[in-house]
Protein backbone atom coordinates (compact mmCIF):
# COMPACT_ATOMS: atom_id res chain seq x y z
CA UNK A 1 0.00 0.00 0.00
CA UNK A 2 1.47 3.36 -1.03
CA UNK A 3 2.25 5.91 1.67
CA UNK A 4 -0.17 8.86 1.76
CA UNK A 5 1.15 10.68 4.83
CA UNK A 6 4.64 11.06 6.26
CA UNK A 7 4.96 12.21 9.87
CA UNK A 8 8.31 13.99 10.21
CA UNK A 9 9.80 14.43 13.68
CA UNK A 10 13.14 16.21 14.21
CA UNK A 11 14.84 15.16 17.42
CA UNK A 12 17.83 16.23 19.49
CA UNK A 13 18.41 14.72 22.93
CA UNK A 14 14.82 13.55 23.49
CA UNK A 15 15.36 9.88 24.38
CA UNK A 16 12.57 9.72 26.98
CA UNK A 17 10.01 11.42 24.74
CA UNK A 18 10.56 9.20 21.72
CA UNK A 19 8.75 5.95 22.71
CA UNK A 20 5.50 7.56 23.95
CA UNK A 21 5.33 9.91 20.96
CA UNK A 22 5.84 7.12 18.44
CA UNK A 23 3.15 5.10 20.23
CA UNK A 24 0.72 8.01 20.07
CA UNK A 25 1.32 8.56 16.35
CA UNK A 26 0.64 4.90 15.66
CA UNK A 27 -2.52 5.00 17.80
CA UNK A 28 -3.78 8.09 15.96
CA UNK A 29 -3.12 6.93 12.40
CA UNK A 30 -2.90 3.14 12.11
CA UNK A 31 -5.99 1.92 10.26
CA UNK A 32 -6.97 5.44 9.18
CA UNK A 33 -4.43 6.25 6.45
CA UNK A 34 -1.29 4.61 5.00
CA UNK A 35 1.50 6.43 6.79
CA UNK A 36 5.13 6.39 7.82
CA UNK A 37 6.99 8.07 10.68
CA UNK A 38 10.29 9.68 9.70
CA UNK A 39 12.47 10.57 12.67
CA UNK A 40 15.50 12.73 11.94
CA UNK A 41 18.14 12.47 14.64
CA UNK A 42 20.11 15.72 14.63
CA UNK A 43 23.29 14.26 16.15
CA UNK A 44 21.80 13.72 19.62
CA UNK A 45 24.36 13.51 22.42
CA UNK A 46 22.23 11.12 24.48
CA UNK A 47 21.12 7.64 23.35
CA UNK A 48 18.16 8.85 21.26
CA UNK A 49 19.53 6.97 18.26
CA UNK A 50 19.69 3.70 20.21
CA UNK A 51 16.11 4.20 21.39
CA UNK A 52 14.99 4.77 17.81
CA UNK A 53 16.91 1.73 16.59
CA UNK A 54 15.14 -0.45 19.17
CA UNK A 55 11.71 0.95 18.23
CA UNK A 56 12.25 0.10 14.56
CA UNK A 57 12.08 -3.57 15.48
CA UNK A 58 8.52 -3.21 16.77
CA UNK A 59 7.17 -0.33 14.65
CA UNK A 60 7.12 -1.15 10.92
CA UNK A 61 6.04 2.39 10.03
CA UNK A 62 9.16 3.92 11.61
CA UNK A 63 12.11 5.14 9.56
CA UNK A 64 15.18 6.75 11.11
CA UNK A 65 17.60 9.17 9.46
CA UNK A 66 20.60 10.52 11.33
CA UNK A 67 22.53 13.68 10.53
CA UNK A 68 26.30 13.25 10.46
CA UNK A 69 26.61 16.84 11.75
CA UNK A 70 24.25 18.76 14.02
CA UNK A 71 22.35 21.09 11.70
CA UNK A 72 19.32 22.50 13.54
CA UNK A 73 15.58 21.98 13.47
CA UNK A 74 14.80 23.49 10.06
CA UNK A 75 17.43 21.38 8.35
CA UNK A 76 16.19 18.28 10.17
CA UNK A 77 12.63 18.96 9.03
CA UNK A 78 13.80 19.46 5.45
CA UNK A 79 15.87 16.27 5.59
CA UNK A 80 12.77 14.37 6.69
CA UNK A 81 10.55 15.94 4.03
CA UNK A 82 13.07 15.16 1.29
CA UNK A 83 13.23 11.53 2.41
CA UNK A 84 9.44 11.23 2.86
CA UNK A 85 7.39 9.00 0.57
CA UNK A 86 4.03 10.63 1.28
CA UNK A 87 2.53 13.44 -0.80
CA UNK A 88 1.49 15.16 2.44
CA UNK A 89 3.66 15.84 5.48
CA UNK A 90 2.68 16.20 9.12
CA UNK A 91 5.34 17.60 11.44
CA UNK A 92 5.64 17.24 15.21
CA UNK A 93 8.17 18.61 17.67
CA UNK A 94 10.19 15.86 19.29
CA UNK A 95 9.53 17.08 22.85
CA UNK A 96 6.05 15.57 23.09
CA UNK A 97 4.23 18.87 23.59
CA UNK A 98 2.32 18.46 20.32
CA UNK A 99 -0.52 15.93 20.48
CA UNK A 100 -0.49 13.36 17.62
CA UNK A 101 -4.23 12.92 18.18
CA UNK A 102 -4.60 16.29 16.42
CA UNK A 103 -3.20 14.96 13.12
CA UNK A 104 -6.60 13.48 12.10
CA UNK A 105 -8.13 16.90 12.82
CA UNK A 106 -5.67 18.49 10.39
CA UNK A 107 -6.45 15.81 7.81
CA UNK A 108 -10.18 16.52 8.17
CA UNK A 109 -9.49 20.25 7.69
CA UNK A 110 -7.53 19.45 4.54
CA UNK A 111 -10.30 17.29 3.12
CA UNK A 112 -12.84 20.09 3.67
CA UNK A 113 -10.64 22.91 2.32
CA UNK A 114 -10.28 24.46 -1.10
CA UNK A 115 -7.49 22.98 -3.26
CA UNK A 116 -5.37 26.14 -3.02
CA UNK A 117 -4.92 25.64 0.74
CA UNK A 118 -1.59 23.82 1.07
CA UNK A 119 -0.71 24.40 4.75
CA UNK A 120 -2.75 23.59 7.84
CA UNK A 121 -0.96 25.11 10.81
CA UNK A 122 -1.60 24.15 14.40
CA UNK A 123 -2.76 26.96 16.70
CA UNK A 124 -1.99 26.44 20.40
CA UNK A 125 -5.01 28.16 21.92
CA UNK A 126 -4.14 26.98 25.44
CA UNK A 127 -0.36 26.88 25.71
CA UNK A 128 1.32 24.95 28.52
CA UNK A 129 4.64 26.80 28.47
CA UNK A 130 6.07 29.09 31.15
CA UNK A 131 4.69 32.62 31.45
CA UNK A 132 7.88 34.17 30.08
CA UNK A 133 7.85 31.88 27.06
CA UNK A 134 4.19 32.63 26.33
CA UNK A 135 4.83 36.37 26.61
CA UNK A 136 7.88 36.21 24.33
CA UNK A 137 5.93 34.17 21.77
CA UNK A 138 2.97 36.56 21.87
CA UNK A 139 5.27 39.54 21.34
CA UNK A 140 7.12 37.84 18.47
CA UNK A 141 3.87 36.76 16.80
CA UNK A 142 2.56 40.34 16.92
CA UNK A 143 5.69 41.75 15.28
CA UNK A 144 5.81 38.98 12.67
CA UNK A 145 2.13 39.36 11.79
CA UNK A 146 2.45 43.13 11.42
CA UNK A 147 5.53 42.90 9.22
CA UNK A 148 4.77 39.83 7.11
CA UNK A 149 0.94 39.94 7.09
CA UNK A 150 0.83 36.15 7.09
CA UNK A 151 -2.58 36.05 8.81
CA UNK A 152 -1.42 33.32 11.22
CA UNK A 153 -1.82 33.60 15.02
CA UNK A 154 0.77 30.96 15.96
CA UNK A 155 3.41 30.28 13.33
CA UNK A 156 5.74 28.66 15.89
CA UNK A 157 3.51 25.67 16.60
CA UNK A 158 5.34 22.46 15.68
CA UNK A 159 2.34 20.48 14.46
CA UNK A 160 1.56 21.26 10.83
CA UNK A 161 0.21 19.51 7.75
CA UNK A 162 1.41 20.57 4.31
CA UNK A 163 1.87 19.53 0.71
CA UNK A 164 5.34 18.01 0.25
CA UNK A 165 5.92 19.41 -3.24
CA UNK A 166 4.91 22.92 -2.15
CA UNK A 167 7.31 22.78 0.82
CA UNK A 168 10.25 21.64 -1.28
CA UNK A 169 9.64 24.52 -3.69
CA UNK A 170 10.02 27.11 -0.90
CA UNK A 171 13.32 28.96 -0.34
CA UNK A 172 15.39 27.12 2.24
CA UNK A 173 17.24 28.81 5.11
CA UNK A 174 17.92 28.09 8.77
CA UNK A 175 14.80 28.65 10.94
CA UNK A 176 12.52 28.61 7.88
CA UNK A 177 10.13 26.27 9.73
CA UNK A 178 8.95 29.28 11.78
CA UNK A 179 7.85 31.19 8.67
CA UNK A 180 5.99 28.58 6.65
CA UNK A 181 2.67 30.50 6.46
CA UNK A 182 4.41 33.59 5.05
CA UNK A 183 6.51 31.52 2.64
CA UNK A 184 3.51 29.51 1.46
CA UNK A 185 1.58 32.74 0.87
CA UNK A 186 4.56 34.15 -1.02
CA UNK A 187 4.42 31.11 -3.31
CA UNK A 188 0.79 31.85 -4.18
CA UNK A 189 -0.95 29.35 -1.89
CA UNK A 190 -3.11 29.73 1.21
CA UNK A 191 -2.82 28.43 4.76
CA UNK A 192 -5.40 27.76 7.48
CA UNK A 193 -4.88 27.77 11.25
CA UNK A 194 -6.46 24.89 13.17
CA UNK A 195 -6.83 24.94 17.00
CA UNK A 196 -4.83 22.10 18.54
CA UNK A 197 -3.96 20.71 21.93
CA UNK A 198 -0.71 21.67 23.68
CA UNK A 199 0.92 19.78 26.52
CA UNK A 200 3.53 20.37 29.17
CA UNK A 201 6.98 18.94 28.61
CA UNK A 202 7.33 15.86 30.81
CA UNK A 203 10.95 14.90 30.05
CA UNK A 204 14.11 16.54 28.74
CA UNK A 205 14.86 20.24 28.51
CA UNK A 206 14.04 22.98 26.01
CA UNK A 207 16.67 23.62 23.34
CA UNK A 208 15.84 27.35 23.06
CA UNK A 209 16.00 30.42 25.28
CA UNK A 210 13.85 33.51 24.83
CA UNK A 211 16.70 35.97 24.24
CA UNK A 212 18.50 33.84 21.69
CA UNK A 213 15.30 33.07 19.82
CA UNK A 214 14.31 36.77 19.73
CA UNK A 215 17.69 37.84 18.33
CA UNK A 216 17.67 35.24 15.58
CA UNK A 217 14.01 36.00 14.89
CA UNK A 218 14.69 39.68 14.20
CA UNK A 219 17.30 38.81 11.59
CA UNK A 220 15.03 36.19 10.02
CA UNK A 221 12.11 38.61 9.87
CA UNK A 222 14.13 41.07 7.82
CA UNK A 223 15.20 38.29 5.47
CA UNK A 224 11.68 36.91 4.99
CA UNK A 225 10.28 40.42 4.46
CA UNK A 226 12.91 40.94 1.75
CA UNK A 227 11.95 37.65 0.08
CA UNK A 228 8.29 38.69 0.05
CA UNK A 229 9.09 42.11 -1.41
CA UNK A 230 11.16 40.54 -4.19
CA UNK A 231 8.72 37.75 -5.07
CA UNK A 232 6.58 37.37 -8.16
CA UNK A 233 3.82 34.82 -8.61
CA UNK A 234 2.67 34.00 -12.12
CA UNK A 235 0.57 31.36 -13.80
CA UNK A 236 1.67 29.30 -16.79
CA UNK A 237 -0.03 27.78 -19.80
CA UNK A 238 1.42 25.17 -22.13
CA UNK A 239 0.59 25.46 -25.82
CA UNK A 240 -1.28 22.53 -27.30
**Helix, coil or strand: residue 5:** strand
Confidence of residue 228 (pLDDT cuts 50, 70, 90): confident
pLDDT in tens, 206-222: 755 554 555 456 677 77
Residue 237 lies in a domain: no
**Could you give the number of structural domains in the chain?**
1
Q: Is the distance from CB of 17 to CB of 203 less than 8 angstroms?
A: yes
Q: Is the distance from CB of 89 to CB of 8 less than 8 angstroms?
A: yes
Mean of the per-residue pLDDT values for the chain?
88
Global confidence as pTM: 0.85
CB atoms within 10 A of CB 7: 29
Residue 240 lies in a domain: no
Residue 38 lies in a domain: yes
Q: What is the pLDDT of residue 216?
A: 53
How do strand 5-11 and strand 88-91 relate by DSSP bridges? parallel
Q: Kindly list the distances between the CA atom of residue 201 and the CA atoms of 9, 19, 146, 191, 209, in Å, as whole numbers in the listed order.
A: 16, 14, 30, 27, 15
Q: What is the pLDDT of residue 231?
A: 75
Residue 234 lies in a domain: no
Residue 70 lies in a domain: yes
Sheet with 5-11: strands ordered across: 62-66, 35-41, 5-11, 88-91, 160-163, 117-124, 190-196
Phi, psi (degrees; rounded to nearest 5) at 111: -65, -25
Residue 238 lies in a domain: no
Q: Find the domain containing 64 and state its range.
A: 5-229
pLDDT in tens, 10-57: 999 999 999 999 999 999 999 999 999 999 999 999 999 999 999 999
Q: Name 129's Cβ contacts closer than 8 Å, sequence gap at least 6.
A: 137, 198
CATH code of the domain covering residue 167: 3.90.550.10
Residue 136 lies in a domain: yes
Residue 172 lies in a domain: yes
Please state, for a pLDDT cut of 90, what percent of the chain lies above it.
65
Amino acid sequence: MSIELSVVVPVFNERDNIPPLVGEVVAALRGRIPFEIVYVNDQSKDDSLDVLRALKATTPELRVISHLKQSGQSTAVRTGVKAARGAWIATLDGDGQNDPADIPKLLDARDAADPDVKLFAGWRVNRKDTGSKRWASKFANAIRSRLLRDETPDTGCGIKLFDRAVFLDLPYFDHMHRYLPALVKRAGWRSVSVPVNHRERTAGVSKYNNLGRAWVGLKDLRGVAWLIQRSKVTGTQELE
